[in-house]
Amino acid sequence: MGEFVKLEITDGIGTIRLDRPPMNPLNTQVQEELREAAHSAAGSDVVKAVVVYGGEKVFAAGADITEFTTQSYQDMVLRAGDLSSAFDAVARIPKPVVAAITGYALGGGCELALACDWRVVADDAKLGQPEIKLGLIPGAGGTQRLARLVGPAKAKDLIFSGRMVDAEEALRIGLADRVVPAAEVYATALALVKPFVTGPSLALRAAKQAIDGGLNTDLASGLALESQLFAALFATNDRIEGTTAFVAKRKPTFTGR
C-alpha cells in the first residue's frame, strides 16, 4: 500500500482511499500510488466492485499547484502522459467503480471522479475544473470525459469559466448520479455497488468494455465490438448458470468463470 493511497478490501468491495490531509492534493506521488491501487483492484479476483473515496471532509481539491510553479514545458512534456494515464488506470478498472464525493472535487479531483462509472455526491459538495484560472486546461481527462458526460456545450461552460457547481446543478446536468447528505456518501456508494459483488463479473466487464469502447468510436464499430463481446460470453460458466437458472425459475449463483 502507498503512503497516501490505499486499497482496502471488505466483502468483495475495494475502496481506493485517498489520505493526504487536509485537501488530498494530487501530486506525483499520489498519482503513481493511485495507478498502483487501480491496477491492484483491477487484477484482484477478490475485488468485484470499487469505491474511490477521499474521506469524510474532502474528495480531492485538485493538483498540488506548488509542483507546477517549478516545472517547465520540457518537464511537463515528460510528465503529462503519466498524469493522464494514472487517471486512465482508474477508468480502465474492468469492474463497476463509483466515486464517493465529499467536500470538493476540483481540477484533478473532478477528473478522478469523471474516471469512475458513477458519482455519489454530498449535498454540500462543490465540483469543477478551475484550471483556466491558472492559465491552464484540464490535463488528466477533463476536456474529454466531461464533454462525453454532460455534452460539449456544458463542458465548455464549466471549463472556460472555471466555475464550481454545487450538488444540485451537478445532478441536473448529469455530473452527479446521486446526491445525499455528506454523512451518507460512503454508505450510499457502497450500497450502489454491493449488488455487483455477487453478479456475473465477466458479463459486467464486457458491458463496461462495450459501453466505454463504443463511446470512442463510430456506431458500426461499436456494434461490432458489442457483438464480439456478446458472443464471447457464451464461453463462460456464468452464461450457462444464468440461462439455466432463468429456465428453472431460480436465482442464479454466479462464480465469475
Structure confidence by residue, pLDDT tens digits, 139-170: 999 999 999 999 999 999 999 999 999 999 99
**Domain boundaries along the sequence of the chain:** 5-197, 200-248
Contacts of 235 (CB under 8 A, 6+ apart): none
Between β-strands 118-122 and 126-128, what pairing exists: parallel, antiparallel or unpaired? unpaired
Superfamily of domain 200-248: Lyase 2-enoyl-coa Hydratase, Chain  A, domain 2 (1.10.12.10)
The conformation of residue 100, written as its DSSP 8-state character, comes to: E
Cβ(202)–Cβ(237) under 8 Å? Answer: no
Higher-confidence residue: 32 or 70? 32
| Residue 109: per-residue pLDDT | 96
Mean pLDDT for the chain overall: 95
Which phi and psi angles does 8 have, rounded to 5°?
A: -110, 130
| Residue 78: per-residue pLDDT | 79
Arithmetic mean of pLDDT, 183-207: 97
Hey, what CATH class is 5-197 in? alpha beta
Say whether pLDDT at 82 is over 80.
Answer: yes
Q: Which of 87, 105, 93, 113 is nearest to 196 (CA)?
A: 93
What torsion, rounded to 10 degrees, do the Cα atoms 193, 199, 200, 205 define?
0
Residues forming the active site: 63, 108, 111, 131
Question: How far is the CA of 175 from the CAs of 101, 103, 121, 207, in angstroms?
Answer: 12, 15, 9, 21
Cell numbers for 189:
456508494
Say whether pLDDT at 211 is over 90.
Answer: yes
- Residue type for 148, please? R
Lookup result for grid cell 472535487: 105
Question: Using alpha carbons only, how large is the chain's radius of gyration in Å?
Answer: 19
Residue-wise pLDDT tens digits, 27-48: 999 999 999 999 999 999 999 9
Q: How far apart are CA 63 and CA 137, in angstroms?
A: 12
The conformation of residue 110, written as its DSSP 8-state character, comes to: H
Say whether pLDDT at 71 is over 90.
Answer: no
